[in-house]
Structure 1
Amino acid sequence: MLFKWLILAAFVSVAWAAKCEDGVDNVIKFTDTTKGKGQIIFTDFEVTTYDENKEPSCRKGQAQFRLPGHFKLHKGFVTVNKPITDETDLELALNVEKDSWMIGKVCVNGKSENSFVPDQLCKFQLCSLAPTVCSLLKVKSSGPIDVTPFVQKEPIDIGALPIPQLGGDWKIGGKIIQNGKTLAGVQIGNGKTWLNIYSEEAKGGSVNYDPVPPGQPNFDHNEL
């Protein structure tokens, strides 16, 4: 009888681990790192992950980011407490760490901690990288803005990337900074959450992304 129950428990465990319901199990959740005190606040941001066939992507019942694969914004809100008036030196600074004693921290506050990774991969000019987001930050909001109407509806296609050691578990976060001041910040989970990335080696990669779908509103409306 004991053996029978052990076999049943094993099957249940396997079935649970294999479960990957779209919008439930394949969700990467982001949290605000300014604790609600930022000039810009990101709340309830969730990204869903998919494989190369646009099927929900999970590993052990949790979201897995796959390369090649797809992802899309599941939901998310932005509150602009104080609008940006000057785009100069508006940057996205990354915090990136791999769960590996050989690699460990790769980016800290936008600066590389790895001799094989240049600073240019840890810090980006925000308005060049994401002009739509930059436009949003120029308008003060009376409350949280639902950003899902402004982004691509279909999953964004991202190819395999020629970056060694990309596969594994990662902690990822980012800050919007200007002249050394943090305006906004987000991270995956609670800061202790590891995201599993599956990466196939390839000679190159690309991202097929339409930042503002045709016929959709833009961020230039003062009524926001």
Structure 2
Amino acid sequence: MSLLIIALVAFAYAAPPIAPEVPEEEEAVAKPLNLGGCKDGVNNVIKVADINDPNLAIHAKDVVIHTYFNDGTPSCYWGRAYVSLPGKLKIVKGSVVVDKEVKDLKKAVAKMTVRKNSWFIGTVCYDGVSQKYQVPGNVCSRNIYPDIGDDFLKMLSTPGTYNFEEITKKAKVSNVISLPSVSSSLKTFVVNGDWQGQIALVLGKQKIAHVKVPSNGDWVYVY
């Protein structure tokens, strides 16, 4: 999965750096809560918003993500989307619009801003800079290449509109993102809660793309 698409769900990548991954069998002991009232495509929906800046070269349009537990069943928290760790995120619709040619995209850097709705945790990353000593700097800011892949890099450098079905076929990119396990104690005391995030792609000193999750400025539950 390319870093750009992963960045569309930046909020889901805020907590794992604080909470180290654990073996799958250890995490399997913890059963998901029975939250009920979770209809696929209705309650487990996250919308990604493009920051509407005409100076940006790359835009996300109508991107919608569905959340699932690791076994593929829809994941919700009191009737709203629930990002489960481990779990899966599926991009079900949307497109990437490239308004103008982007040269040297290989040099672009993804800079994240991620915040938890908590006075104790608060902002984890701000404009690509770590705000917590537990979170290494390369979590909040990283080069998009080579993770993005040459085929997708070419698409994002060339003007046009590319839907995710086309991207998955031509750039050989999956629309399903698998999220890691985290230790149960840190999952309870650190990860558990509401998160929101933004991701900006920066080339040199110029911002070329910028999105936020969720789209309405509200929060997404992560556990």
TM-score normalised by length of structure 2: 0.73
**Structure 2 match to 1:147:** 164
2:154 is equivalent to residue 135 of structure 1 = yes
**Structure 1 match to 2:178:** 157
**Structure 2 match to 1:207:** none
**Residue aligned with 1:129, SS:** coil
Structure whose CA Rg is larger? 1
Do the aligned residues in 2 keep the contact of 1:127 with 1:133 (CA within 8 Å)?
A: no
**Structure 2 match to 1:170:** 195
Q: Deviation at 1:189?
A: 2.7
Q: Which has the higher contact order (CA 8 A, sep 6+)?
A: 2
Whole-angstrom distance in 1 between the partners of 2:217 and 2:113: 13
**Residue aligned with 2:38, SS:** coil
Do the aligned residues in 2 keep the contact of 1:39 with 1:81 (CA within 8 Å)?
A: yes
Tell me, which stretches of 5 or more residues in structure 1 are unaligned?
Answer: 1-16, 199-224
**Structure 2 match to 1:62:** 80
Q: Any runs of at least 4 consecutive aligned residues in structure 1 with deviations exceeding 6 A, and if so which?
A: none
**Structure 2 match to 1:26:** 44
Whole-angstrom distance in 1 between the partners of 2:152 and 2:123: 27
Cα deviations across residues 72-124 of structure 1 (Å, max 9, x unaligned)? 11111111111222135301110100111111011111011112212111011
Alpha carbons of 1:189 and 1:37: their partners in 2 closer, same or farther (altered >3 Å)? farther
Whole-angstrom distance in 1 between the partners of 2:153 and 2:183: 29
2:115 to 87, 94, 97: 97
**Residue aligned with 1:93, SS:** strand
Alpha carbons of 1:153 and 1:174: their partners in 2 closer, same or farther (altered >3 Å)? closer
2:202 is equivalent to residue 188 of structure 1 = no
Whole-angstrom distance in 2 between the partners of 1:182 and 1:156: 25
Whole-angstrom distance in 2 between the partners of 1:57 and 1:116: 28
Whole-angstrom distance in 1 between the partners of 2:164 and 2:175: 15
Whole-angstrom distance in 2 between the partners of 1:87 and 1:153: 21
**Structure 2 match to 1:222:** none
Tell me, which stretches of 5 or more residues in structure 2 are unaligned?
Answer: 1-34
Alpha carbons of 1:70 and 1:122: their partners in 2 closer, same or farther (altered >3 Å)? same
Q: Which structure shows the higher helix fraction?
A: 2
**Structure 1 match to 2:101:** 83
Amino acid at match of 1:73: I
**Kindly, what percent of the aligned residue pairs are identical?**
28
- The alignment covers a number of residue pairs equal to 180
Whole-angstrom distance in 2 between the partners of 1:49 and 1:33: 23
